[in-house]
A and B are shown apart, each in its own frame.
Chain A
Amino acid sequence: MMKRFSLRMATAGLAGLVLASLGPAQAAEQVPPPRFNWASSGIFGTFDRAQLQRGFQVYKEACAACHGIDQMSFRNLAQPGGPEFSTAQAAAIAADWMHKVREIGDDGQPTERTPRLADRIPGPFANKKAAEAAHGGKAPPDLSLMPRARSYERGFPWFLTDIFTLYQEHGADYVKAFLTGYEEGKETPPGTHYNKYYPGNFVAMPNVLQDGLVTYSDGSPQTAKQYAADVTAFLMWTAEPHMEQRKRIGFQVLLFLLVLGGLTYFTKKKVWKNVEGHA
């Protein structure tokens, strides 16, 4: 087994090495997703609380039956910079959660209990094997990091201009486009569905988001498009719960450095004033 695995890695390594062509050559062209507007983009971007709350609702009602968000705890739902449910609301969400916390009881037997605020949000499956068994051998991926774990090729010169325009929602744009990218009436291999934006187009996940699937209480449009935007925004937050803090501190740091840099520069001018050849 070990030897066979070693051979497998060596072959793959060799492929990556000399014939890295194999991968990309086989991978089908990926259609770049359209650009969407995100409340969280730019230097001063912050999440739209109401949107994150709706997004959580979409995750809970449309995604959580198959996908976990293992990196998140219920307490995170109440922390600053996120959907900011009240602590009581977050505790109620935990108590009502559809999946139980699986643990080993005092008698040494596997047992289940109702989640509490401090618990990680339990996913649909006890373990990876169970998830694979329920989905034809391939476990539905965890969604915690999804907008960061996906991207698309920007190409020259856009990958350079992105540094200055601060476009970094490549993954979010992809996820949203993917969720609404299903097309009917295409020839697909058995067990797959046609998605315009998925690399290779044939994806095991069916088209889940249908108009009217989730009932919003704040009067937002109950369309697949809106659901996709909301749940993607929510996942952008789960991928980086401290984004707002990061941008806020970043602005202060840059302001400080610019002032310090200016002062230091003029100090330098003064110090060098009497050196010949320097103004």
Chain B
Amino acid sequence: MQGHSHYVPTSGIGKWMDSRLPVPRLVYDSFIAYPVPKNLNYFYTFGAILSFMLVSQIVTGVVLAMHYTAHVDLAFNSIEKMMRDVNYGWLMRYLHANGASMFFVAVYIHMFRGLYYGSYKAPREVLWILGVIIYLLMMATAFLGYVLPWGQMSLWGAVVITNLFSAIPLVGPTVVEFLWGGYSVDNPTLNRFFSLHYLLPFMIAGVVVLHVWALHVTGQNNPTGVEVKDVKKDTVPFTPYATIKDAVGLIFFLIFFMWFVFFQPTYLGHAVNFVPADPLVTPPHIVPEWYFLPFYAILRAITFDVNLIIFTIPSKLGGVLAMFAAIAVLAFLPWLDTSKVKSSAYRPMHKQFFWAFVAVCLILGWLGSKPAEYPYTVLSLIFTGLYFAYFLVVLPLLGLFETPRKLPASIADSVLGKARSGGAPVTAGAAAAPQTKG
């Protein structure tokens, strides 16, 4: 896909620019002529949706920052003032707060799509790892942002999460004081969180550029998992085909987004965060935002010390390690999955394990919202085990034991097969894709 530029500047200015800084050529090659597999379904529009969400979050965030005061005595009221006295301030705030949740809705669909179709496999390992880095940065940004309104959950969420680092042996307490900028979560903490919350999205934007670059080098995966063999037969140009399809996906995603912004703006938050932060009153139930709940369940699943003969991992450190491992394991996915076949449409067993894994993640999310008491702790431990089993046991072994279905010879073949029989898929596996038409 890279290195076959067909851009021909027509105007004088175009030729002049092309021989100096070929930005128009870059745009032409990346977003107009770039060939995309013709069999992509609507799950492949989430890349564009995520790009839109990043821009939306940055734009609304920059506006919010104009009215926000990062001080423990003023932060809460500065946001309430914005909601009341700034023209459409309430709209900016709801767009930003709900936008964070929608960003995660989109990224989870995007990631599960990658898992289902094996988009992380060679030659897209670097593309996938860049995605994991973006996800990690998103989590950090979202956490920092939730602290800024300085409500009760902001403060106590910050207390719980920064305390994770105190589990690090020897240097833990020092690291935590460094993060706090003092001896407790207080004004210096809020200030640096605001600073970092403003910084990280631009780092995300940088990694997104690399992510898209890597995508354009390898080309997109597709629901068959069969690589493009003949650009003419297997692909269509990005514009107008992918652009218009991404637009459809984005608009319907926006309808979902706007439903929350305008009719349920506080549904995804916590009521207790409308109570100003008070370091002397602990809320009865400290829970993170919904998108962190599965990891929160894993964090709290380790309620026992792990004795390794030479040394002991205390339960708190064990939980922290398990939580970070749950994210880190994603980066090793390209090498943990031993199957040569990419798409689950042709992997009957993996398809079942995939949906089981989705269920495990949802159940972990539910457990994360429950208090850490019997039976939830035991269930958390079981499902944490299942979560890791998918990556460390199922994926490595499945490639050795599973008999994949017969792959189509090419993307064009799979598409034609469907068209000839009047829309009903001929290739056995194609029916399995959640959505093959589009």
Contact = CB atoms under 8 A, between A and B. Distances in A.
Nearest to B366: A156
Interface stretch (A91-99, A104-112, A211-219, A249-257): A249-257
Given A23-B286, A257-B254, A272-B241, A14 B316 contact: yes
- By size class, the interface of chain B is 35 or more
B194 interface: no
Interface stretch (A160-168, A180-188, A189-197): A160-168
B263 A5 contact: no
B315 A18 contact: yes
A276 B319 contact: no
A39 interface: no
B272 interface: yes
Contacts of B77: 71
B159 interface: yes
Nearest to B281: A138
Nearest to B274: A149
A246 interface: yes
Interface in B160-199: 160, 162-164, 166, 176-177, 182-185
A171 interface: yes
Contacts, number: 184
Contact of B283 (A5, A23, A163): A23
B244 A264 contact: yes
Contact of A6 (B183, B283, B437): B183
B416 A18 contact: no
B267 interface: yes
Given A13-B163, A257-B254, A20 B286 contact: yes
Contacts of B262: 246-247, 249-251, 253-254
Given A18-B315, A242-B84, A166 B160 contact: no
Contact of B284 (A17, A27, A168, A241): A27
Majority SS of interface residues in chain B? Answer: helix
A199 interface: yes
Interface string B18-54: 0000000000000000000011000000000000000
B245 A268 contact: yes
Contact of B248 (A8, A25, A264): A264
18 contacts: A6-B177, A9-B279, A13-B160, A13-B163, A13-B166, A14-B316, A17-B163, A20-B300, A20-B371, A21-B373, A148-B271, A149-B275, A162-B267, A250-B262, A251-B262, A254-B259, A271-B240, A272-B245
Interface of B: 38-39, 77, 80-81, 83-84, 90-91, 94, 156, 159-160, 162-164, 166, 176-177, 182-185, 236, 240-241, 244-245, 247-248, 251-252, 254-255, 258-259, 261-267, 271-272, 274-275, 279, 282-286, 299-300, 303, 315-316, 319, 366, 371-373, 377, 412, 415-416, 418-419, 423, 437-438
